Amino acid sequence: MIVEGKNAVKELIKSGRTIDKICVLKGDKAAESLALQAKEAGAKAVFCSRENLDRLSFSKKHQGVLAYTTEFSYSDLSEILEEKEEGNRLVVILDGVEDPHNLGSILRSAECLGAAGVVIGKHRSVSVNETVVKTACGAEEYVKVARVTNINDAIRTLKENFFKVYAMDMSGKDLFAADLSGDVALVLGSEGNGVSALAKKLSDGAVRIPMMGEIDSMNVSVAAGIGMYEYARRRGAGK
């Protein structure tokens, strides 16, 4: 896997994940500092021209640094359940999200707002790839991500562990009036179709974000961020 961008590579180095090689723009002091840190951790450091980095980069927005590292390591759902103390766990379940920029943004919000983890599907869903990592800006190194065969089984497992499970859907009740005490899981659906019918049926209910404009839906990463913030706010986030 290639990790690009100064913030993403910085967090990669801090996490201790194995880096095989780091390529940096010669003369860029911040990038060269990252190369030194990676080299101290055992990576091979290569100084490149901007043209060479542009050729190696998948996004063409490398900020003068890219690193070759091991593939992303997913967690088990059981590990997410162990991440926080009972009664204070928030899990985000993504039911068919396909845009890597959305997944990356959700991981970044999940890390900032203290979520226990994010659950994605193995089928018809985006995996943690280079674009996700670039968008997450290093958050993927700190947020547990479970990649499950069946999203509906994951919902059942969380309910068996006494989570309240809410589908975020415009048919639901006001998010800001919902009972978000204890352990909570928020289910968000695909960009085109929303939460699947079975996932809604398995959930304890649906919640919606009140809208003031003419458009009746939000980008999934924005909706996820609002849902996560409301959970954190109820627990005194930022105090």
Tens-place pLDDT, residues 195-226: 999 999 999 999 999 998 888 788 999 999 99
- What is the rounded distance in angstroms from the CA atom of residue 120 to the CA atom of residue 146? 6
Q: What is the pLDDT of residues 124-165, one digit of tens each?
A: 899 999 999 999 999 999 999 999 999 999 999 999 999 999
Give tens-digit pLDDT for 51-105. Answer: 999 999 888 889 999 999 988 999 999 999 999 999 999 999 999 999 999 999 9
- pLDDT confidence of residue 238: 60
Asked if the structure places residue 239 within a domain, the reply is: no
Q: Which domain holds residue 81?
A: 77-234
Is 53 within the bounds of a domain?
yes
Q: Cα angle vertex 207, ends 191, 171, to 5°? A: 70
Based on the fold, state whether residues 168 and 132 are members of the same structural domain.
Answer: yes
Nearest to 202 by CA among 160, 147, 174: 160
Do 103 and 97 contact (CB within 8 A), yes or no? yes
Query: Any idea what the CATH number is for the domain that residue 203 is in?
Result: 3.40.1280.10
Residues 114 and 162 in one domain: yes
Closest CA to 164 of 106, 101, 89: 89
What's the total number of domains in the chain? 2
Query: In the listed set 37, 69, 101, which residue is the last one of a domain according to the structure?
Result: 69
Please tell me whether residues 16 and 42 are part of one structural domain.
yes
Q: What CATH number does the domain containing 37 carry?
A: 3.30.1330.30
Final residue belonging to a domain, choices 32, 50, 69: 69
Domain boundary among 34, 69, 104: 69
Are residues 141 and 109 located together in one domain of the fold? yes
Global pTM value: 0.88
Instruction: Let me know whether 205 and 87 are in one domain.
Output: yes
Pair (109, 172) in one structural domain: yes
